[in-house]
Amino acid sequence: MPANVFLGACLPKLSRVAVCGGTHGNELSGVYLIKELMKRRREADDEEQPILVLSNPRAAQQCLRYIEVDLNRCFSHDALNAPLSDSAPYEVIRSREINAVLGPKGSADSVDFICDLHNTTANMGLCFISCSDSDWISLHIFKYLQLCIPDIPMRYLHFDLSHDEAYSLDSVGKHGFAMEVGPQPHGVVRSNVYTTMKTALELVLHWIRLFNCGTVFEGGPVDVFTLVKHVDYPRDCSTHDIVAAIHPLLQDKDFCLLNPGDPVFQTFSGETITYNGSESLYPFFINECAYYEKGIAFSLSRKSRVNVPSLRANRDQSR
Amino acid sequence: MSSYNNNSVRLNAATKVAVFGGTHGNEMSGVTLVNLWMKNSNEIQRKGVETKPFITNPKAVEKCTRYVDTDLNRAFTAENLSAPGGESLPYEVWRAQEINNMFGPKGSPEAYDVIFDLHNTTSNMGCTLILESSKDHFNLQMMNYIKKALAPASCLVLLNEHPLLKYSTSRSVAKHPVGLEVGPQPQGVLRSNIFDSMRVIIKHALDFIELFNEDVEFPPCTVEVFRVLERVDYPRDANGNIIAMVHPNLQDCDWEPLNPGDPMFQTFDGKTIHYQGPGTVYPTFINEAAYYEKQQAFVTTKRETLVASAVKKS
CATH, residue A84: 3.40.630.10
What ipTM goes with this model?
Answer: 0.93
Show which of residues 97-126 on chain B sit within 8 Å of chain A, judged by CB atoms. 122
Q: What is the total count of domains within chain A?
A: 2
Q: What is the pLDDT of residue B289?
A: 92
Domain encompassing residue A265: 228-301
User: Would the CB atoms of B187 and A245 count as touching at under 8 Å?
Assistant: no
- Confirm whether A61 is domain-assigned: yes
Chain A contacts to B (CB-CB under 8 A): 32-33, 35-36, 63, 121, 183-192, 194-195, 241-242, 245-248, 251, 266, 268, 287, 289-290, 292-293
Please report how many Cα atoms fall inside a 13 Å half-sphere around the Cα of residue B41, on the Cβ side.
14
User: Would the CB atoms of A186 and B289 count as touching at under 8 Å?
Assistant: yes
Cα separation, B5 vs B134, whole angstroms: 13
| pLDDT over 60 (residue B4) | no
Same domain? For A180 and A205 the reply is yes
Give residue-wise pLDDT tens across range B280-310.
999 999 999 988 888 999 999 999 999 999 9
Same domain? For A152 and A64 the reply is yes
Same domain? For A219 and A244 the reply is no
Give residue-wise pLDDT tens across range B13-26.
999 999 999 999 99
Domains of chain B, CATH where assigned: 5-225+308-313 (3.40.630.10)
Q: What is the pLDDT of residue A30?
A: 98
B36 interface with A at CB cutoff 8 Å:
yes
CA of B201 vs chain A CAs: smallest distance (Å): 16
Same domain? For A199 and A235 the reply is no
- Confirm whether A3 is domain-assigned: no
Same domain? For A169 and A288 the reply is no
> Known catalytic residue: B304?
no
A24 is in an annotated binding site: yes
Cβ-based neighbours of A107, under 8 Å, separated by 6 or more:
none
**For a pLDDT cut of 90, what percent of chain B falls above it?**
92
B153 interface with A at CB cutoff 8 Å:
no
- Confirm whether A162 is domain-assigned: yes
Same domain? For A45 and A186 the reply is yes
Same domain? For A291 and A220 the reply is no
Helix (H) or strand (E) holding B101, with range, is helix B91-103
**Catalytic annotation, pick one of B43, B62, B79, B181:** B181
Q: What is the pLDDT of residue B167?
A: 87
Give A187's contacts in chain B (Cβ within 8 Å).
122, 187, 289-290, 292
The full 3-state SS of chain A, as one line of letters, equals CCCCCCCCEEECCCCCEEEEECCCCCCHHHHHHHHHHHHHHHHCCCCCCCEEEECCHHHHHHCCCCCCCCHHHCCCHHHHHCCCCCCCCHHHHHHHHHHHHHCCCCCCCCCCEEEEEEECCCCCEEEEEECCCCCHHHHHHHHHHHHHCCCCCEEEEECCCCCCCCCCHHHHCCEEEEEEEECCCCCCCCHHHHHHHHHHHHHHHHHHHHHHCCCCECCEEEEEEEEEEEECCCECCCCCCECEEECCCCCCCCCCCECCCCEEEEECCCCEEECCCCCCEEEECCCCHHHCCCCCCEEEEEEEEEEECCEEECCCCCC
Kindly report the average pLDDT of chain B as a whole number. Answer: 95
Q: 10 Å Cβ neighbour count for A202?
A: 11
Same domain? For A33 and A156 the reply is yes
Q: What is the pLDDT of residue B2?
A: 31
Same domain? For A239 and A209 the reply is no
B242: helix, strand or coil:
strand
- Give the pLDDT band (50/70/90) at residue A2: low
CA of A271 vs chain B CAs: smallest distance (Å): 12
Same domain? For A220 and A232 the reply is no
Q: What is the domain-level CATH number for residue A279? A: 2.20.25.160
- Give the pLDDT band (50/70/90) at residue B247: very high
Give B192's contacts in chain A (Cβ within 8 Å).
245-248, 251, 266
Characterize A133-148 residue by residue with b for buried, 16 or more Cβ atoms within 10 angstroms of its Cβ, and e for exposed.
bebbbbbbbbbbbbee
| pLDDT over 80 (residue B6) | no
Same domain? For A202 and A291 the reply is no
Give residue-wise pLDDT tens across range A308-317.
999 999 987 5
User: Would the CB atoms of A245 and B192 count as touching at under 8 Å?
Assistant: yes
B241 interface with A at CB cutoff 8 Å:
yes
| Cα–Cα nearest to A170, from A141, A145, A210, A199 | A141
Same domain? For A130 and A178 the reply is yes
**pTM to 2 decimal places:** 0.95
- Confirm whether A319 is domain-assigned: no
Give A186's contacts in chain B (Cβ within 8 Å).
186-188, 289
